[in-house]
Amino acid sequence: MLFPLVLILSTLTALLGGHLLFKITRNYCVYLFEIMFLLFFVVRPYFVYSFEILTFDLKRFGVENDAVLTYAACGLIFSVVFHRTVYKLYQRPSLFFDGWFRICNFDRIRRLRFFAVLCFFTVLTYLVNALKFHSLGYFRQNLDSFEAGVNLQGGLWFLQILSWILIFPLIALVARNLDARPVKLFGLLLIAMVGFYLIARPSTRTETISLLAAVAAYSFSVGKIRINLMSLAIISGGVIALLVLLDALRQGNLQAGPEQVGILGWLIGAFQNLGPADNGMILIDYLKHHSWLYFRYLLASLSPLSLVPSALFPYKPRTDIEGVLTYKLFGFDLDASMYHEGGTLTYTVPIAGYADLGFLGVIVAALLYGFIFAFFLRGWRSKSTSVRFITMYYLILIIAGLRLSVEALMSTFYWVILATWVLHVISNSNFFVVPFANTRAQGLQSSHDASNPG
């Protein structure tokens, strides 16, 4: 009876917490989080516990029902602490970080200046990826982005981070055109997504899919698109299709087209995105006989030093908790064909917290995750369209990061703040407009001289 009670309480907490947050925010990203949470911590454990729908590794490790129950309990504790944290932080009249939102405002940047900035970031992304793939024509080739990223480990991982920096001006570009006609906005969104994939060749799907999700969530939230079964079905179907398609593209696996994969293959590909839930259950079962991590990786991740390349700071503390846990669980016995992400698995934010110090670690993870969530959610209070959209995009990245760990999300948090600040500084500097300004000034002077020869 305890397991059904935990799932019922988790469901009620998600529904009630989501309703209360939406009531004060009117932001549909809140419901997106609740859907993610319910899939990972209600739906998946329910099917494992009640119907024994097990993956290969759940069978191989012999995960017992008490581990599944503990997994569900972690989700319940996380949900209670998370919702209370976000609710309290969002309702505060002001917080110390509210001034940061100014750097997300690109509404008044002139078109020519912004176009120059976009070209600069495009060239920078191309050069970084040409170095990453060891090919000037990488964008025309069917390459494995995972393998290229893994090869950068050992001091060059910063190139992997820089390889998708193009996404930041593309987010601002879409934000500047949210009031355009639907056809123009859809065309711009399609160009941004395709252009980002071709130039950045990302090894993860989150950045690309989040663009679509952010535009949809923004349109729902401001009333540009009515919420009904048809609109939800179209957007949900598009997201699922992108998940499977981009997974094949990033692995350089274009031989099997959609007509060859079939509906079952697409459904299986979508189901594999719940893999972190199974990994979390395996980890809980493992921790019954092994010690906690005692926050040793979390404490290191709280500092922005995690962004400093190890080539410059070789003695910086490790923050890759997923890599550590994966090795502890699997060692070298990891099926590379099943787990292509460089041999590193993810375990969800609550379970990575549980690995630190049991249920106390879950509470700490919920507090930190709730802070990051509230940080970007407060951007919705701004009157600037670009601030609202850009922070919504970052919020969706954090929601998708529920499958990761707080350690990984802290690095993402610091990176998007730094990258947005760099984009803001460059967009407001005279670096890109001086040549144009000088040319115009010379032309005006020549005209003046010609009209006044003596």
pLDDT digits (tens, 9 = 90+) for 138-156: 888 877 776 776 676 655 6
Give the pLDDT score at 155: 59
Residue 345 lies in a domain: yes
Packing angle of the helix pair 275-287, 349-377 (nearest 10 deg): 130
Give the pLDDT score at 450: 47
CA distance linking residue 207 with residue 200, whole number of Å: 10
C-alpha closest to that of 196 among 210, 176, 185, 179: 210
Residue 23 lies in a domain: no
CB-based contact 267:338 (threshold 8 Å): no
CA distance linking residue 63 with residue 286, whole number of Å: 9
CB-based contact 280:353 (threshold 8 Å): no
Q: How many CB atoms lie within 10 A of CB 88?
A: 11
Residue 167 lies in a domain: yes
C-alpha closest to that of 90 among 176, 27, 164: 27
Q: Is the pLDDT of residue 26 over 60?
A: yes
CA distance linking residue 372 with residue 312, whole number of Å: 28
Q: What is the mean pLDDT of the chain?
A: 83
Residue 78 lies in a domain: no
Give the pLDDT score at 146: 67
* Burial (Cβ within 10 Å: 0-12, 13-18, ≥19) of residue 266: middle
C-alpha closest to that of 398 among 381, 373, 425, 426: 373
Q: Is the pLDDT of residue 309 over 50?
A: yes
CB-based contact 94:378 (threshold 8 Å): no
pLDDT, one tens digit per residue, over 68-84 is 999 999 999 999 999 99
Domain that holds residue 401: 98-352+365-447
First and final C-alpha spacing in the chain? 100
CA distance linking residue 67 with residue 280, whole number of Å: 9
Instruction: Name every residue whose Cβ is closer than 8 Å to that of residue 196 and which is 6 or more positions away in sequence.
Output: 164, 166, 167, 170, 202, 207, 208, 211
Give the pLDDT score at 201: 85
- Tokens 């189901």 correspond to what residue? 271
Give the pLDDT score at 133: 86
Residue 130 lies in a domain: yes
Longest pairwise C-alpha distance within the chain? 100
Give the pLDDT score at 41: 96
Q: Is the pLDDT of residue 263 over 80?
A: no
Q: Is the pLDDT of residue 330 over 90?
A: no
Tokens of 167: 């996404």
Q: Count how many domains the chain has.
A: 1
Give the pLDDT score at 392: 97
User: Comparing 59-73, 163-177, 231-245, which segment has the lowest mean pLDDT?
Assistant: 231-245
Residue 35 lies in a domain: no
CB-based contact 7:45 (threshold 8 Å): yes
Per-residue pLDDT, averaged over 424-437, amounts to 69
What is the three-class DSSP state of 224? coil
Residue 205 lies in a domain: yes
Give the burial string for 10-48 (b: 16+ CB within 10 Å, else e).
Answer: bbebbeebbeebbeebebbbbbbbbebbbebbbbbbbeb
> Which phi-psi region, left, alpha or beta, contains residue 252 (left: φ > 0; alpha: ψ -120 to 50)?
left
State percent of the chain over pLDDT 70.
Answer: 82
Q: Is the pLDDT of residue 445 over 80?
A: no
Q: Tell me, yes or no, if the pTM score tops 0.85.
A: yes
CA distance linking residue 424 with residue 310, whole number of Å: 27
Residue 239 lies in a domain: yes
Chain centroid to Cα 223, Å, comes to: 25
Q: Is the pLDDT of residue 395 over 90?
A: yes
Chain centroid to Cα 125, Å, comes to: 19
CA distance linking residue 199 with residue 168, whole number of Å: 13
Tokens of 361: 């670690």
